[in-house]
Amino acid sequence: MSGELVNMAELSRHVSDGSEYHLPQFLGSHLELPTICGVQLTRFMVVELAVALLMILLFVPLAWKMKSGKPLRGRFWNLLEVFLLYLRNEVIVPSIGKKDADRFTPYLWTLFFFILFCNICGLIPWFGASPTGALATTAVLALTTFGVLVGSGMKKFGVAGFWKGQVPSMDLPVALAIFLKPMLFVIEVVGLVIKHVVLAVRLLANMFAGHLVLAVLLGFIAATADKLILWLGVTFASVFISLALNVLELFVAFLQAYIFTFLAAIFIGMAQHQH
Amino acid sequence: MKETVFDSKPRTRRRVRALCITVAVACCAFCAKVACASESADAKLDPLEWRGDLAIWTAVVFLLLVLLLAKFAFGPIVRALDERERREFEREAAADKANADAKALLEQYRQKLDESEEEVRRIIANAKADASAQASQVVEDAKRAAADERERAVRDIQAATEVAMREIAVKGARLATDLAGKIIQERIELDPSKSAQLVDAALNEMTE
């Protein structure tokens, strides 16, 4: 095996973040990203910014079109509306309830499309890997959801009411309640935090693993480059398996965005309707 | 029209497709080989690596995006959807009401139609009854008229018969008288008183 040509560290450059942008060979191999106000821009930052701009460019005109009250024209706008309506009617309203759903719908829509577009960006050649393959991104998304949950819960039930409501109501003798309820409170709060940590780790693991497998499969081609017959067979196999995995990755991109949004909606719904 | 390779025979198309796939695979392989060979090997592969700068960047971008979209996109979209739902409920309620009104109207028309049919049936029955009565009346009148006519004819016949009988009687009597006169003439010549008695007796018999 030609270890000088490929190793895991090199492969990781295509999966993890970096301060340079990979370009097609005819445009030069790399584009170094600038430092702004002492902050080094990275590929993930650029992708996140691009995703944010893309979402603004998509959904602000959609809002203008929908404000007129007339049915949307065009497959693309109808497709976007189908996504929005499905999330609202099948995910957000059943999880949070009709009364409170509209307050959280913009946040959950933003969450879904931000994750989805970040996931899909990892599948576009030369665009950079998915930012959702980095713990910092998924953790911030989970933390934001946790903040929305706690903030909306405390707004509805009051600070004390919200935290008190974390303990299930039980008819316990006073002596037992004094002993048990603090323990239950700690367990419930830790459980709440763990749920959000799992939310972040699930998305991270799915996206990172998918891209890593793709990179490794393509790395096999370079690894067998010095053995012509083996290289041909491995190349065909790698490319076709990578193609199939890319299709799977596309599905996973949608699925993980859906799962993250769905669980976030359920958690927010649980905070709005306590025990 | 100019023919492209994709318009030609399926076998040629398959060959072109196979060639394209081969070229694509070769390009991928070449890119992967060049990319891997040209990069330095100082990158780390740690998915749980915590990047503070990326976290802050993500938080800022995401929260700004939430605020901007809530203000200019998703907020108005939610309101537009609510408004659309309200309009659809109103349309549905109006359609239900119109449907109920139409059904009630249809029921009214059906009742009126039934009543009209009943009225028509009654009118036809009355007309038939009237026509039958009138026909009977006409037949009765005709019978009565025929009977009257016959009675009148009978009476006329009787009267004519009586007249004829009287004339016959008169003529007979006259003939008889003439005959008898001739006979009696001869006898009167013998007894004139007997002559008058015989005439009266003969007249009485004839008139009875």
- How far CA A3 is from CA of A173, A224, B59, in Å, comes to 69, 10, 39
Q: Note the pLDDT of residue A260.
A: 96
Query: What mean pLDDT do residues B165-176 have?
Result: 77
Query: What mean pLDDT do residues B135-159 have?
Result: 91
Q: Report the share of chain B in percent with pLDDT over 70.
A: 70
Q: Is A216 on the interface with B (CB under 8 A)?
A: no
pLDDT in tens, B5-21: 344 456 666 665 655 55
Q: 């076709």: which residue's tokens?
A: A240
Whole-model pTM over 0.90 = no
Give every CB contact of residue A266 below 8 A, 6+ residues apart in sequence.
A95
pLDDT band at A216 (very low <50, low <70, confident <90, very high): confident
Q: Note the pLDDT of residue B105.
A: 94
pLDDT in tens, A222-258: 888 777 788 888 888 888 888 898 899 899 999 999 9
Question: What does the domain layout of chain A look like in residue ranges?
Answer: 8-272
Nearest to A221 among B32, B47, B82 (CB): B32
DSSP conformation class of B45 = -
pLDDT in tens, A176-197: 888 888 888 999 999 999 999 9
User: Residue A110: is it exposed, middle or buried by C-beta count within 10 angstroms (0-12/13-18/19+)?
Assistant: buried
Of the residues A1, A40, A59, the best mutation for testing chain B's interface (the one with the most B CB atoms within 10 Å of its CB) is A59
**Closest residue on chain A to B43 (Cα):** A9
pLDDT in tens, A28-47: 667 788 888 877 888 889 89
- What is the nearest CA distance from B63 to chain A, expressed in angstroms? 8
Q: Locate A192 and state its tokens.
A: 């709440």
ipTM score assigned to the predicted complex: 0.87
- What is the nearest CA distance from B91 to chain A, expressed in angstroms? 14
pLDDT band at A7 (very low <50, low <70, confident <90, very high): low
Q: Note the pLDDT of residue B160.
A: 84
Q: Note the pLDDT of residue A48.
A: 92
Contacts of A131 in chain B (CB under 8 A): 54, 58
Q: A188-227: string of b/e by CB count within 10 Å (b at 16+)? A: beeebeebbeebbbbbbbbbbebbbbbbbbbbbbbbbbee
Query: For the packed helices B52-72 and A135-157, what is the interaxial angle rounded to 10 degrees?
Result: 50
B25 contacts A66? CB cut-off 8 A:
no
pLDDT band at A6 (very low <50, low <70, confident <90, very high): low
Check pLDDT > 80 for residue A9: no
CA distance B161 to B156: 8
CA distance A62 to A184: 46
Q: Is A248 on the interface with B (CB under 8 A)?
A: no
pLDDT band at B178 (very low <50, low <70, confident <90, very high): confident
Residues A123 and A250 sit within 8 Å (Cβ to Cβ): yes
- What is the nearest CA distance from B79 to chain A, expressed in angstroms? 8
Among residues A95, A125, A119, which one has the least CA distance to residue A107?
A95
Give every CB contact of residue B183 below 8 A, 6+ residues apart in sequence.
none
Q: Note the pLDDT of residue A20.
A: 77
DSSP conformation class of A91 = I
B51 contacts A17? CB cut-off 8 A:
yes
Query: What mean pLDDT do residues B176-204 have?
Result: 72
B34 contacts A9? CB cut-off 8 A:
no
Contacts of A66 in chain B (CB under 8 A): 76-77, 80-81, 84
Check pLDDT > 50 for residue B65: yes
Of the residues A27, A56, A66, A111, the best mutation for testing chain B's interface (the one with the most B CB atoms within 10 Å of its CB) is A66
CA distance B77 to A62: 8
- How far CA B18 is from CA of B5, B24, B168, in Å, comes to 13, 10, 144
Between these two residues, B98 and A126, which has the higher pLDDT value?
A: B98
Of the residues B28, B33, B71, the best mutation for testing chain A's interface (the one with the most A CB atoms within 10 Å of its CB) is B33
Check pLDDT > 90 for residue B159: no
A250 φ/ψ angles, rounded to the nearest 5 degrees: -60, -45
- What is the nearest CA distance from B74 to chain A, expressed in angstroms? 5
- Per-window interface: A 112-171 vs B, CB < 8 A: 114, 131, 133-137, 139-141, 143-144
DSSP conformation class of A123 = T
Check pLDDT > 60 for residue B35: no
Query: What mean pLDDT do residues A70-81 have?
Result: 89
What is the CA angle B118-B119-B123, rounded to 5? 120
**By mean pLDDT, which of A78-92, A124-138, A145-159, B128-142 is the weakest?**
A124-138
Q: Report the share of chain A in percent with pLDDT over 70.
A: 93
A239 contacts B29? CB cut-off 8 A:
yes
Question: DSSP string of A176-239?
Answer: HHHHHHHHHHHHHHHHHHHHHHHHHHHHHHHHHHHHHHHHHHHHHHHHTTTSHHHHHHHHHHHH
Mean pLDDT score of chain A, rounded to an integer?
A: 86
Which amino acid belongs to residue A120? I
Nearest to A9 among B45, B48, B87 (CB): B45
Q: Note the pLDDT of residue A105.
A: 94
- How far CA B163 is from CA of A60, B153, B160, in Å, comes to 129, 15, 5
- What is the nearest CA distance from A173 to chain B, expressed in angstroms? 45
pLDDT band at A83 (very low <50, low <70, confident <90, very high): very high
What is the CA angle B12-B16-B17, rounded to 5? 115
Helix/strand/coil (H/E/C) assignment for every residue in A133-145? HCHHHHHHHHHHH
Mean pLDDT score of chain B, rounded to an integer?
A: 78
